[in-house]
Amino acid sequence: MNLARSKREIAENGFTIINDVFTPEEVSVILHLITWADTAKDTFRKSDDLFAIRQFLKEVPDVAGTILSEKLRMLIKELFGPEYFPVKSIYFDKPKQSNWFVAYHQDLTISVEHKVEVEGFGPWTVKQNQFAVQPPLSILENIFTFRIHLDDTDEGNGALKVVPGSHAKGIYRPETIDWTVEKEVFCNVQKGGIMIMRPLLLHASNRTTTDHQRRVVHIEFSDKKLPVPLKWAELLTNDCDNEVAISR
């Protein structure tokens, strides 16, 4: 595991891939806990071509001990610093029969507890009773995302494709991409591996063309407090009601 190289790749390209972070046994534990989760809640979305759990760490709390392991905390601390904490989590299952794709986009919103008008934050959206808002660029630039892969993922079952370096260009509208200058890269990740990316990195995924599932846990981290009275929607707390930082 070459963390110096990963740190450089994140800075230059906006992403890196690190395999063999979670053992097969740990992956099995995560999948087992998901299987036994109560899917009747509003944060669960289940259809023939998608199974998603929003606020994943809250809705399946027993999974946190396996996912936020000492190994993962060490990676975060070494790559980004000791004061980062989870602020958003989603589980995605793209079944083998799935035929949907996601066009190129940046992740421009954060999840907050309530809608409160604060200067610099907007526009607002609501999805499955969850409030999301576009924050100032300085907050987006400070977030990073861990995508934990529970299956081998490649071009055939919806691996992300990205535009390297696009994270450093601010708000980058997909319709303005100049493909004579930019290039597209597929991010193949092994089961138990992770992809780390910046939310401003342009990314997309194709339709599934094989009979392989693509199950991913998506967790976003930040070390920033939001301006009062805004609050992160998925902030994990300890007994003192403070953020659960990676240095714990």
- What pLDDT does 130 receive? 85
Average pLDDT over residues 90-100: 76
Cβ 125 vs Cβ 203: under 8 Å: no
Nearest to 172 by CA among 181, 180, 163: 163
Average pLDDT over residues 180-186: 96
- What pLDDT does 47 receive? 53
| Cα–Cα dist 69/48, whole Å | 32
206-245 pLDDT tens trace = 888 888 888 999 999 999 999 999 999 998 654 333 344 4
Task: Return all residues near 89 (Cβ < 8 A) that are at least 6 apart.
Answer: 55, 56, 57, 58, 217, 218, 219, 220, 234
Q: Does the pLDDT at position 90 exceed 70?
A: yes
24-33 pLDDT tens trace = 999 999 999 9
- What pLDDT does 241 receive? 39
- Which 3 state secondary structure label does DSSP give 72? helix
What is the pLDDT confidence band of residue 247, given thresholds at 50, 70 and 90?
very low
- What pLDDT does 21 receive? 96
- What pLDDT does 246 receive? 46
Task: Return all residues near 177 (Cβ < 8 A) that are at least 6 apart.
Answer: 104, 163, 202
Q: 13 φ, ψ to 5°?
A: -105, -20
Q: Does the pLDDT at position 133 exceed 80?
A: yes
48-77 pLDDT tens trace = 555 788 899 998 999 999 999 999 999 999
- What pLDDT does 244 receive? 47
Pick the CATH number of 3-222 from 2.60.120.620, 3.40.1190.20, 3.40.50.620, 2.30.30.20: 2.60.120.620
Nearest to 64 by CA among 217, 215, 232: 217
**What whole-number percentage of the chain has pLDDT above 70?**
87
Q: How many C-beta atoms surround the C-beta of residue 58 within 10 A?
A: 16
| Cα–Cα dist 163/138, whole Å | 21
State the chain's mean pLDDT as an integer: 89
* Stated pTM of the model: 0.90
Where along the chain do its domains lie? Answer: 3-222
Position 71, amino acid:
K
Least confident among 125-129, 132-136, 144-148, 167-171: 125-129
Average pLDDT over residues 196-205: 97
- What pLDDT does 154 receive? 93
| Cα–Cα dist 182/223, whole Å | 31
Distance of CA 149 to the CA centre of its chain: 11
Position 182, amino acid:
E
140-181 pLDDT tens trace = 999 999 999 999 999 988 899 999 999 999 999 999 999 999
